[in-house]
Structure 1
């Protein structure tokens, strides 16, 4: 069955949610939300806990840190005109959206919904259905909610209790909760950098990964509920971690940046690596596999032992087959130039030229007469 052409515009509800995440200070309920779909008891929602308890500034500063730099001057003026009298850096609730009872982290959901803006296209929700309307995302939101409930309900059982010493006390407990909220594990766990695009497999949103992501957010949400309920246990712990940022408050805040990098579907990355590794020295295979899986940059460029346009043609095919997402063509072109060289018999290792890569990726010039891959029904094979 031939996939239909993607529409140019997202529906009104979709754009409304994006506008809310960028501009509104309050939590918004998802389209079709029902009041009986509750996961978090009302007394444990962050809104009620912050409203009804005395919370230390150090705790609130760390909680709001991901969104504290979000508001531009013009947007802040509009918020003030609407009657808001709060503190600017705490105006945007980190959990700004709720669907099927599960709260969504503002920065993360905005990153996902703006995928079309970053890459020019949205992923599929199933094999034959692209995402054009907000309701198309219902399967994602349902699996996320299942994971969120699991994470929220079992946070202490899974993340705290197994790691306490035998004769633990309240200080041991609070330290473990604090560690959960402040530790940083690259690509896996970081409250202050807690956003990513949709996890996909064959350009289709992975519902398994969606549930795992919801579980992680449920755990974060529960951890903060514990902190807000026990201010006296956590106040001194957060004071030190925010002190350095408080000393620099007079400096202009840097704008929020969302990392743009090539992201290859996990199965596709493995298929591609198995073909591509034959064109690189064995000592570079580990680093090659890493950058294909994570889209990161290498310290020393990898040398492709083939014709330059064979490599650019391969990446171009991945992009057009929707197996490579997370960036626009211009970002992919720069990534290739920054991370690869090709081998010339006379000159040795030669850098890719930006203009040549642009013509190969973005246009039909420098057509590859001897391609190294072909893609059939989402499967990468040797050409």
Structure 2
């Protein structure tokens, strides 16, 4: 191991763990300031997410959203692209899923509709990522700015469509009609009847997300395209010198990233709500950024980070109920601290850890 390098288990395991511990220590101090016992808060947080069947179901449900958006951000990261438009891409991807369900749900079973819904979500999500990708590749527009703008454009577009085009006649709620059985993903409580998921909305999208993790792993680490993406992200000039087209890699990577974000809609639109409604993404596109950073861009890490944020979402709701002085806003603060330490302060402990391992390696070599 050369000087300044860290073992993989440190880079992918120890550093994220240190960031997470620091976030929880600061969160505990916040809880102490408001006059509550942080250990009691942790007890209710963990119990609310993992202590009973319905809590586990909700934890897995939230984690499913974050797996899709985390993978979307991670793929872009590998090419050196900061796609923060996952929220808008997921939103528009939900439109593609809803169109497939509305067209087929009355004529075929759900397993026939599912491939068309997957294709619709991926296609619409990729299409929403295409324009920012093209502007970055051909016009030099910064991907961060354009993807932010497209989040707001997606929100305005969906308000118009759900209020004026897709809304059923005679209703006031800005949403589509409810899908028939042919447009609904089975809930896990109906599939695995021996398991207790309570009334949670966790559905088959969770397993689809795990399959997508395997696909992304194969794509990034075991294909020529994945090698080109990682090479371009590591050194764009060297990649271009080697014959890798910056325009092609930028556009293709963003299309893949947008398609992954677009698939998130299956969990909510086709699984939980069984209709398309306003703001169904619920901020999952932004949480995906922290998930990708904490998971170091690897599907296994993204699964673990998604489960952590699923735990925080579900356990936080239970905590706010059991200890009213810790309000829902306080739970958002705790989640924000985890995002802060996992994202903005990701490398806070790295210099000290690198110095420690360099000194340890030197002492070992001298001995």
> TM-score, normalised on structure 2?
0.23
**Higher normalized strand content (fraction of residues):** 1
If each structure's helix is expressed as a fraction of its own residues, which one has the higher value? 2
Higher relative CO (Cα under 8 Å, sequence separation at least 6) belongs to 2
TM-score, with length taken from structure 1 = 0.22
